[in-house]
């Protein structure tokens, strides 16, 4: 299926004003398969030249041996929701929230983001979730069209299977909405991410302030919704993803059967598989595996699921997402470089691999003809220090 993101005109429009020329010289360039000393030149927002050597041309930025890597590509972040609702039931003004979200991501080296928004609501009970995605998407797209953002934004619709209004909410989106990902979210208690109900209780009690009786009612509500709507919502979400031209993602696959169903549905990448079994089965079906940077940095999953490092060491990790900590994305790539002893491979998990997974062909690598999204990074011990961020050649961080 053709993607709405396959043409340069659509993906670059409104992201930034075209930059003046930029040359980052005397840098360690992290290319797709090697690191070499050289310079990268950007003209009209596009990489036009890569040269080897430590020469610093007149007017160039002398990187003094710092690393230069592609801008980071983030496929799943809850960060926009954190800005519009900084605490439960606190609705922050959306335009300043979106601008702050964009600036925060730029400051961490993310130059392309797929903003995750939940679709599918529950309108009753303590665990209710109200429709918000269509309105927020309109506000985000309008802000982008006005040139308020520093980086490139697309939409990631998180399709909640256990909900009352999933298909109605998905139907409100169309081909002009920059929906790049639709992910299948089945948060039925007792399976996938929340096989352990204790972990679910801890999560929702802190987020929603539920007591024991309210939690029990919430679990029963979700189980009832899954029974009533689960199959219909899953099939409908798959169909809607095709209509929108979006890449379909699975979420929290746990068993080989889960992955088999994902393969039948046409899933392109698996978000946060919870077991080695699921990740290994993804390999068999050609489904890319994405794990969370916080999991990698903390040394394990906060929900008690498989550790990202375990999958990395088993050669079962392709993409990393910042998930709920934007600054974790760059740090995670350097953690993987230490695990694999391969910096280009590690950087690919946060640049070219996610770009490829969502069919964005105009970014994700230091190559002539691609977008001038680049970062300047200095390694301080085990910590990467971000010294510059450029989106289409514009300094944004």
pLDDT for the residue numbered 219: 74
Domains of the chain by residue range: 71-363
Inter-residue contact 237 to 209 (CB < 8 Å): no
Residues of the chain where predicted confidence (pLDDT) is lower than 50: 1-13
CATH superfamily of 71-363: Metal-dependent hydrolases (3.20.20.140)
pLDDT for the residue numbered 202: 65
Separation in Å, CA 104 to CA 67, 133, 195, 251: 21, 21, 33, 25
How remote is the C-alpha of 275 from its chain's centroid?
20
pLDDT for the residue numbered 193: 60
pLDDT for the residue numbered 126: 54
Query: pLDDT, tens digit, for every residue of 8-30?
Result: 333 444 676 656 699 999 999 99
pLDDT for the residue numbered 205: 64
Separation in Å, CA 72 to CA 107, 132, 173, 194, 247: 11, 27, 27, 29, 19
The secondary structure element, H or E, covering residue 46 is strand 46-52
Strands 67-70 and 374-380, by their bridges, are: antiparallel
């Amino acid at each position: 299926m053709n993607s709405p993101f396959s043409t340069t005109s659509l993906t670059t429009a409104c992201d930034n004003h075209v930059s003046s020329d930029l040359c980052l010289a005397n840098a360690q360039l992290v290319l797709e398969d090697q690191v070499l000393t050289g310079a990268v030149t950007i003209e009209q927002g596009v990489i036009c030249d890569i040269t080897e050597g430590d020469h610093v041309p007149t007017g160039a930025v002398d990187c003094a041996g710092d690393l230069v890597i592609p801008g980071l590509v983030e496929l799943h972040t809850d960060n926009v929701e954190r800005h519009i609702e900084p605490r439960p039931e606190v609705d922050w003004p959306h335009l300043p929230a979106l601008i702050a979200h964009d600036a925060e991501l730029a400051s961490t080296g993310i130059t392309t983001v797929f903003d995750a928004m939940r679709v599918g609501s529950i309108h009753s009970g303590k665990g209710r979730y109200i429709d918000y995605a269509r309105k927020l998407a309109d506000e985000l797209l309008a802000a982008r069209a006005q040139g308020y953002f520093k980086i490139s934004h697309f939409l990631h619709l998180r399709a909640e299977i256990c909900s009352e209004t999933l298909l109605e909410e998905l139907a409100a989106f169309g081909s002009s909405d920059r929906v790049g990902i639709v992910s299948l979210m089945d948060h039925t208690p007792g399976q996938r991410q929340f096989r352990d109900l204790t972990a679910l209780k801890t999560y929702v009690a802190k987020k929603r302030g539920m007591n024991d009786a309210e939690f029990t009612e919430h679990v029963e509500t979700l189980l009832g919704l899954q029974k009533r709507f689960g199959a219909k919502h899953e099939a409908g979400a798959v169909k809607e993803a095709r209509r929108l031209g979006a890449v379909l993602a699975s979420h929290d696959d746990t068993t080989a059967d889960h992955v088999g169903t994902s393969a039948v549905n046409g899933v392109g990448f698996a978000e946060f598989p919870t077991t080695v079994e699921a990740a290994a089965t993804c390999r068999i079906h050609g489904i890319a595996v994405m794990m969370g940077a916080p999991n990698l940095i903390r040394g394990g999953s906060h929900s008690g699921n498989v550790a990202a490092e375990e999958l990395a060491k088993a050669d079962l990790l392709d993409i990393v997402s910042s998930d709920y900590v934007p600054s974790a994305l760059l740090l995670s790539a350097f953690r993987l470089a230490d695990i694999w002893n391969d910096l280009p491979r590690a950087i690919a998990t946060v640049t070219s691999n996610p770009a490829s997974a969502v069919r964005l062909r105009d970014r994700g690598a230091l190559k002539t003809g691609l977008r001038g999204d680049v970062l300047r990074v200095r390694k301080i011990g085990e910590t990467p220090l971000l010294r510059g961020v450029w989106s289409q050649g514009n300094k944004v961080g």
